Chain A
Amino acid sequence: MTSSTMNNSPRLDSKVPAGPLQQKWENYLNTAKLVNPNNKRKHTILVVGTGLAGASAAATLAELGYNVRSFCIQDSARRAHSIAAQGGINAAKNYPGDGDSVWRLFYDTIKGGDYRSREANVHRLAEISNNIIDQCVAQGVPFAREYGGLLSNRSFGGAQVSRTFYARGQTGQQLLLGAYQAMERMVGAGRVKQYDRREMLDLVVVDGRARGIIVRNLATGELERHVGDAVLLCTGGYGNVYYLSTNAKNSNVTAAWRCHKRGAFFANPCFTQIHPTCIPVSGDYQSKLTLMSESLRNDGRVWVPKTAGDKRSPEQIPEEERDYYLERKYPSFGNLVPRDVASRNAKEMADHGKGVGETGMAVYLDFAESINRLGEKVISERYGNLFEMYEKITGDNPYKVPMRIYPAVHYTMGGLWVDYDLMSTVPGLFVLGEANFSDHGANRLGASALMQGLSDGYFVISHTLGNYIANTSLPKLEESNAAFADAENDSRERLATLLGIKGEKTPVHFHRELGKIMWDYVGMARNRDGLNHAIGAIGRLREEFWNNLRVPGSNDTMNKNLEFAGRIADFMELGELMARDALEREESCGGHFREEYQTEDGEALRNDDEFAFVAAWEHTGRVGEEVKHREELVFENVKLTQRSYK
């Protein structure tokens, strides 16, 4: 451990309620302070981001009577990146009668996260999961149904029950539109004011509390000050630090990073998820990667040729010369092992020269057997839109030839540290959904992101925010307050600096370079030398950025390259912290695989004695000098075991 580490830091009070695990949330609800209905409208809540977490929070808080302002960088709240989630949402309904329960969902999520998340938060998530499905169905979300008219379920990685609700391959879209419509209803009622094309550039902290934000109007370039009694950050993950990822082009870390610089600790930044089933990279012009839902692994079989360097086309490779390596190595979970395991195995095959396709950086996902067994119609009903999407991008028809897939960056488990109330280390700043670190440990299971976003937004924040407001004296503030003027000035100067460098290289150039460093050294497999190299290389890139960046145009108009430049500057600082976090976590767990720490058969080797903690980094004024605080993870209800999916 470095000298700058605070063990069981007093700054990280998780505020987990007393009592047995199953009763903690109920106890919380029974004792949380309430805000009088007539007083709620006197409180303005700033909700940044309109994905599942942000839209559901804005809708719910407005329904309760709060005065809500909602901000998004897109031209409409409906376009937040949750819209692209494909496969489904988990819940412990046990409609199929296959033995599911709240406990099992809790246990699978803790285990899937490789025992690096907080028991109480995960149990609450599992408890709430069923309410989410009820809420969404009542909104008219068109989930898949059986002929009897009841809801249909399918299975997903890391679970042996079918607990995933889905809406074809567009579950995220339908859930987000449900939340968006609920929010628009409140816009119509005048209780939510919607601010589109606004990017949060700073958090305003007054007397130690989050009291406002500075945003840039992306259509006009104007900076705006917004005052509130609390700020809810629902701005998603930071996967785009890798440049190529399945995230939307505009997904970024800037809002979260600005909060980090204003005092919010950043937790477990090295915990990133590489999704096993994405369309492989085809060339250096590529701007993003496309996910193929994990649900495909229900009916698709993953294989490579048994012989390295076998370049025959797939139909020419006879059955006995194929290696269905997931089924071979993990007979009980087979193709449905968790994402981190599936991704690492694909990389291993490619590293051994068994990768397929032009680049050798791909494996097959084959539906021939399922099509024979179930017929093309059934497969089309289940995955039709995914097959179409694949064909559009690659020009290949997956009904006829196996898909080629390869892992790609998809989700980030790390994020701003929050306590049980979802409040960060800055009082009044709450962090919801992917932007926080709380529920997925070192690896997220499929169909759990949508669950967490909606749990936080619909069912958790309404209670924990109320408790904060009721317990806190919040003097009235004006936009003219000096803290707002200072923060706005900082943002303006930063924009001017970016525009003023007038160097020779474009923002995208730097983003691409950063992405290469991150993918090569802070990607699927990491080691000490590589991480040290990454820290140096990112530092050099950052220096070049601030000396040789060229941002065209001006600040007083729409200028997307100016937006990109600001985000890349923040990604570079985050990338360095990710490498440091990965370097100091001397174990392998979930998505964090350190080559030095593996079992004999190449599985992740945890070190629970030394690393069963959350690493939360405090900004101290300079990048590279963050102080690490530790929240020790206490497991009172589950026994820590080496994960096995064999």
Chain B
Amino acid sequence: MADKLMTINLKVWRQDGPDRPGRLAPYTVEGVNPHMSFLEMFDLLNERLILGGEEPIEFDSDCREGICGSCSMVINGIPHGPHRGTAVCQLHMRHYKDGDTLTVEPWRANAFPLIKDLVVDRGAFDRIIAAGGFVSVNTGSAPDANSLPVEKAKSDAAFDFAACIGCGACVAACPNASASLFTGAKIAHLSLYPQGEPERRRRVIAMVNQMEAEGFGDCSNHGECEAVCPKQISISAIAIMRREYVKAVVASND
């Protein structure tokens, strides 16, 4: 590669365990190829740390193509870094300059307890889905797939919400650490589909209650969640969730 290699200065959150003190530790990474992804730069740094007898930085990552939702780094205060619609695994170093200094921290929220370094526990999201983020249809009991037509526009809109990868950037970006975009996206997806209709009231109440029980904050319309979402899920999901919630509560008072 003819491209000029860069030197990147990092300040990375290091914390040995959940109840241990944490700190920002400085690292200088030389020889960064601009075509590297952000995580590949971390791979490079970790190789050097191991060879130098230090412990590497733990971080979550898996698919490295922006779909599994594992990666979770806050770069200079922004979850997944500066590019819209991009998970940190898809962020490439060509967007940075030689000599840049970057601060890298984990998702921070009470509902996402820290495990080590940049790794947090996002189990709360699973529990929100388990509370109601599904259609109750046992295997083998489904009618023919084309027996219920779905308006294309609705189906496309539902897909836009269903594209959520559950990474938790919305929570990390929110000043209240609210999980409303995540929860609202699933509610919006299923409320736009006729298959989701029979359970819509029970679903929204159960999921919203679980979200509160997990310790996520309330939504106060900052819009940071939408801005950082790697799948660009619209904040209208939250409006749909609220509408569904009010309808469900009113209906249950009938």
Give me the interface of A with B, judged by CB distance under 8 Å: 56, 59-60, 63, 74-79, 81, 83-84, 93, 95, 131, 133-140, 142-151, 167-168, 170, 173-174, 177, 180-182, 184-185, 187-188, 194, 196, 219, 248-250, 282-283, 285-288, 290-291, 388-389, 392-393, 395, 458-459, 462, 504, 506, 508-509, 550, 552-553, 557-561
Contact = CB atoms under 8 A, between A and B. Distances in A.
A288 B64 contact: yes
B126 interface: yes
Nearest to B138: A63
A85 to B, nearest CB: 9
Contact of B150 (A131, A149, A282, A459): A149
Contacts of A389: 65-66, 90
Nearest to A180: B129
Contacts of B22: none
Contact of B133 (A95, A135, A184, A557): A184
Given A79-B70, A95-B146, A142-B162, A182 B134 contact: yes
A142 B47 contact: no
B92 A392 contact: yes
B36 to A, nearest CB: 5
Interface stretch (B116-124, B173-181, B214-222, B241-249): B116-124
B122 A76 contact: yes
Given A76-B126, A142-B193, A170-B163, A84 B65 contact: yes
Nearest first, the 8 A-B pairs at minimum CB distance are A149-B149, A138-B142, A181-B134, A188-B130, A142-B159, A184-B130, A134-B142, A137-B145
B207 to A, nearest CB: 11
Given A142-B156, A170-B67, 16 more contacts: A76-B166, A78-B129, A79-B69, A134-B142, A139-B195, A140-B162, A142-B189, A170-B163, A184-B134, A194-B126, A219-B115, A219-B116, A285-B36, A392-B90, A462-B139, A558-B58
B193 A552 contact: no
B51 A553 contact: no
Main DSSP-derived SS at the B contact region? loop
A135 B137 contact: yes
Contacts of A184: 126, 129-130, 133-134
B69 to A, nearest CB: 6
Contact of A79 (B33, B62, B129, B158): B62
A81 B162 contact: no
Interface in B1-51: 1, 16-17, 33, 35-37, 39-40, 43-44, 46-47, 49-51
B146 A150 contact: yes
Contact of B70 (A75, A194, A290): A75
Contact of B62 (A140, A248, A395): A248
Contacts of B193: 140, 142
A174 B137 CA distance: 16
A1 to B, nearest CB: 41
Nearest to A137: B145
Contacts of A291: 65
